[in-house]
Amino acid sequence: MTQDVSAIILAAGLGTRMKSRKAKVLHEAGGMALVEHVLRAASELVPGERVTVVVGHQADAVEERLRPLGCRFAEQKQQNGTGHAVAICKGIAPAEGLLLLLYGDCPLLRKATLNRLVETHRAAPAGTAATLITVELPDPTGYGRIIRGPEGEVAAIVEQKAANSVQAEIREINSGIYCVDAKLLWQYIGEITPNPASGEIYLTDLVEVFAHHGLQTRALVLEDASEILGINNRVELATADRILRERKAKQLMLDGVTILQPETVAIDMAVTIGIDTIVEPFAQIRGNTHIGENCRIGAGSILRDAVLGNQVSVGEYCIVGTSTLEDEVSIGPFSRLRQENHIEAGAHIGNFVELKKTRLGRRSKAMHLAYLGDADIGTGVNIGAGTITCNYDGKLKHRTHIGDGSFVGSNSTLVAPLELEPGCYIAAGSVITKRVKQGELGVGRSRQTNVEGWVARKA
Ligand code: UD1
Ligand code: CA
């Protein structure tokens, strides 16, 4: 962490080109809000309390999302342009040292690049007020164009809309990532005049204001353009999402995770996966999911905010919500674990089994076609095919307790609230409404009668 460096992140705009009711910077790529990517990159370099995020559109929602990361906020009540957004930080952001100015819609930016920018600026000749990152793009449409002066310095930045036909041909563009001398910034930012066409105050015009005072702006030209992608519409959002997921998958593979056909797999940024785990094609691993070592995540499975121990096998096409699966659990194919399940070590869940708010004890099994909701199931229990916990009476939810070592026969209907004591048996096809004590057999069905000669009489 560098003590004399601070950062300002602009995140007040609506993002008209997104055509959305949601503020642009809250849209997600790689399972994380755009602005959160930028804040995380900045926070790796600058301590959180030295990062000021400018909020405006849906300020409450943006602040709520970012507050856990420990930054400061400045409110830009009216979005009068990127220069205005920085100007309102005067008195909030530090008065001296170096300031990184970043846009909240550039999620691909990396710490190493920010570091390089700071180092380049430090090494620049005296009289350099700012250094900014530029790249050469085959198609520069939409970005501000860099106008170079006689000594190769940046003389001006011309926005797409204002560019004449010669300027529009320039392929070197403004990334919107700047390192400036804070003292000079605060001294001169007030001199930017509104753009004649839009009436907005453009941060990019600061280059000319500096030049007017004999101060220079220099450029760090990046070879790799992918990091500076600014997201203005949903096509660019999809591009950023793809690049972030490629990076994530690549990092996991380098860290010892096997990912088959990684281009088909979607893994969110916050996910962690232990070594020797195999992720099969078309799996989606979302949110704050944490997976241990030597697990298998079957093709087409979707995990969201799940926690898996080691040697867990998730078969094909399982859907797992906020649930914990301890070591050596196996589920699927086609299992659905909704919210708040706790599957203890060595338990097995098979196809077409749905669980909700249920604990399944160590080595217990529910292998086929069951609904287990609001249930507390002990260790070594066998749940037969077709078992249903009737947890809802039309008004309230009730719990079912099944003691250790019990055996629930197939197609049993367990009407909650219900207690099955340890070591009891439930006969297949029963409707059970009363407690079954330890060692008892619960039978709740009519007895079978066989009518002799019935078939012949009917014919
Ligand atoms: C901006 C640059 C352009 C550069 C491009 C890089 C200006 C005038 N232009 O254009 O040179 O090539 O980024 O991606 O700076 N914002 C505010 N308050 C405002 C206006 C914007 O906080 O009043 C925020 C937005 O939320 C956004 C960021 O600033 O996160 C950039 O604004 P945007 O409108 O996307 O700028 P571009 O037109 O892309
Ligand atoms: Ca932009």
Written in H, E and C, the secondary structure of 368-436 is: EEEEEECEEECCCCEECCCCEEECECCCCECCEEECCCCEECCCCEEECCEEECCCCEECCCCEECCCE
Q: What is the DSSP track for 206-253?
A: HHHHHHHTT-EEEEEEES-GGGG----SHHHHHHHHHHHHHHHHHHHH
Taking a C-beta distance cutoff of 8 angstroms, is the pair 56, 25 a contact? no
Q: What is the pLDDT of residue 116?
A: 97
State the pLDDT at residue 2.
66
* C-alpha span between 358 and 381 (Å, rounded): 14
* CB-count exposure of residue 102 (10 Å: 0-12, 13-18, 19+): buried
From the CA of 25, the nearest ligand is 1
- Told to judge if 368 belongs to the known catalytic residues of this protein, a careful annotator would answer yes
Ligand 2 being an ion, which residues bring their Cβ within 5 A of it?
Answer: 105, 230, 232
Q: Tens of pLDDT along 186-235?
A: 999 999 999 998 999 999 999 999 999 999 999 999 998 989 999 999 99
244 Cβ contact partners less than 8 Å away, ≥ 6 residues apart = 29, 30, 32, 37, 107, 108, 269
Residue 3 has what pLDDT?
Answer: 72
The arithmetic mean of pLDDT across residues 315-331, rounded, is 98
Instruction: Give the Cα separation of 207 and 199 in Å (integer).
Output: 18
Cα-atom radius of gyration of the chain, to the nearest Å? 30
User: Whose Cα sits closest to atom 11 in ligand 1?
Assistant: 144
Q: Quick one: pLDDT at residue 338? A: 98
Of the ligands numbered here, which is closest to the C-alpha atom of 103? Answer: 1
Which residues are near ligand 1 (CB < 6 Å)?
A: 10-13, 25, 54, 56, 76, 79-82, 84-85, 103-105, 143-144, 157, 159, 173-176, 202-204, 230, 232
Model-wide pTM > 0.75: yes
Which residues lie closer than 8 Å to 191 by C-beta, 6 or more apart?
209, 212
Arithmetic mean of pLDDT over the chain: 97
C-alpha span between 82 and 204 (Å, rounded): 8
Identify the active-site residue in 290, 342, 368, 398. 368
Contact between 29 and 244 (Cβ < 8 Å): yes
